[in-house]
Amino acid sequence: MASSQAGDDRSGSGSSSNNNSPEATIRRTAHVQALLERLLQGSPIYGLILPTIRLESASHDGLVVTSLTLTPTHVNSKGGLHGAVSATIIDFTTGLAIAATDLRETTGASVDMHISYLSTARVGDRVRVETRAERVGGSLAFVTVRIVKVDDDAAEGREVVVTMGQHTKYVRGTAPPQLPPPTPMMGN
Q: Please write the tens of the pLDDT for every residue from 64-111.
A: 999 999 999 999 999 999 999 999 999 999 999 999 999 999 999 999
Phi, psi (deg, nearest 5) at residue 83: -60, -35
More confident residue, 63 or 173: 63
Bridge-based pairing state of the strands 140-150 and 159-170: antiparallel
Phi, psi (deg, nearest 5) at residue 37: -65, -40
Say yes or no to pLDDT of 11 above 60.
no
Mean pLDDT value across residues 23-36? 95
Residue 12: per-residue pLDDT: 41
What element of type H or E holds 92? helix 83-102
List beta partners, residue 112. 168
What element of type H or E holds 69? strand 63-69
95-104, 133-142, 146-155, 166-175: least confidently modelled range? 146-155
Average pLDDT of every residue of the chain: 88
6-10, 114-118, 132-136: least confidently modelled range? 6-10
List beta partners, residue 167. 113, 143
Question: Do residues 162 and 126 make contact, with C-beta atoms less than 8 angstroms apart?
Answer: no
Phi, psi (deg, nearest 5) at residue 47: -60, -35
What span, in angstroms and rounded, lies between the C-alpha atoms of 26 and 183?
Answer: 28
Helix (H, G, I), strand (E, B) or coil at 70: coil
Question: Do residues 70 and 81 make contact, with C-beta atoms less than 8 angstroms apart?
Answer: yes
Say yes or no to pLDDT of 17 above 80.
no
Mean pLDDT value across residues 51-60? 96
Cα pseudo-dihedral 65, 145, 105, 24, rounded to 10: 40
